[in-house]
Amino acid sequence: MRFLFAGAGALGARFGFMLHQNGEDVTWIDTWKEHVEKIRQDGLKVIIDDKDLGNFPIPISYPEELSGEFDVVFVATKSMQLKSMLESIKHVFKPDTKVICILNGLGHVDTLKEYVDPENILIGVTLWTSGLGGPGVLNAHGTGKTEVKQVEESDKSRSLEIVDVLNKSGLNMVYSDNVYQSIWHKVGLNCVFNSYCTIIDCNIGEYGSYEGHQRLTDMILNEVVAVGRAEGVDVKYDVISGNISRIFPPELAGLHYPSLTQDMKNGRLTEIDYLNGAVSKLGRKHNIPTPVCDLVTELIHIKEFLGGNK
């Protein structure tokens, strides 16, 4: 199979490297010039669990240079970049090209349907983590798992074949009927940590050290659960709340600054409109008040505005 990773950031780099190591045909595209040129010159430098595994020459190009056709496309961009990336690569889709989307947040299926038939879309959620140690450097720790589900399941055979290939590369992927529930559970966790840690300017453990953190958490989770259930998904408060409390210790994720917090500090636009902002939008659709998600979304946007984030 020919795999294209539309985005060679932290997760795209890690997944692409794992497939490459299993002998799969992998290509990356990205728009970060320093990253692309460094990989072209030296290959991707890979550090896993603090062990330097060396440099690996994996093909990478800019979107406008891309040619040929691909069997599987992983979209591995920021949420707000999904539409522009799909527009730039639509010429490489075959009638049966499968597109896998495991981006954070909500609303991606509607965007994907503008470019891909629903039976060719696999929507999912991942618990893998990863990081970049600068241009051309993958620096990651631990392992994870991923759930996916075909949006329209008229024929799942090709999707199941792809899942099998991904598992042989160590990606711990499961075809799951509970994907939408898992997506909403992760959205709930991200709506809490990404918004509050960014507004407060703290890491996950510092947030959890405040004695009133549960009250703050519940203000958002009550809205997430109500809106998710109105969307027809069995969103469980206890699961999300337990997942949040479980990762406060420093040996888990306590020392971690959420991705939205990192984007804010680095002057980048954030994914807030696909997290709390998306909950607010769906709340209006169902006439469910979401005053806390409304407020934190606006607070993040004003921080972006005053910080000159682009």
Q: Which residue numbers are catalytic?
A: 186
**Strand pairing category for 146-150 and 137-140:** unpaired
And the tokens for 185?
Answer: 């559970």
- Please give the C-alpha separations between residue 292 and each of 107, 195, 210, 221, in angstroms, as whole numbers: 20, 11, 19, 10
Amino acid type, 34: E
Q: Residue 125: phi, psi to the nearest 5?
A: -145, 140
Max intra-chain CA distance, the chain: 56
Count Cα neighbours of 100 within 13 Å in the Cβ-side half-sphere: 31
DSSP helix/strand/coil, 147: strand
State the Cα–Cα distance between residues 171 and 177, nearest whole angstrom.
18
**Strand pairing category for 173-175 and 137-140:** unpaired
Q: Check the CA dihedral 180-186-187-189 and report its sign.
A: positive
| Residues paired with 4 in a beta bridge | 27, 73
State the Cα–Cα distance between residues 1 and 26, nearest whole angstrom.
9
Q: Check the CA dihedral 43-47-48-51 and report its sign.
A: positive
And the tokens for 158?
Answer: 């090709």
Q: Which alpha helices (DSSP H) does the chain contain, by range?
A: 10-21, 33-42, 82-89, 108-112, 157-168, 179-200, 204-209, 213-230, 237-246, 259-265, 276-285, 291-307
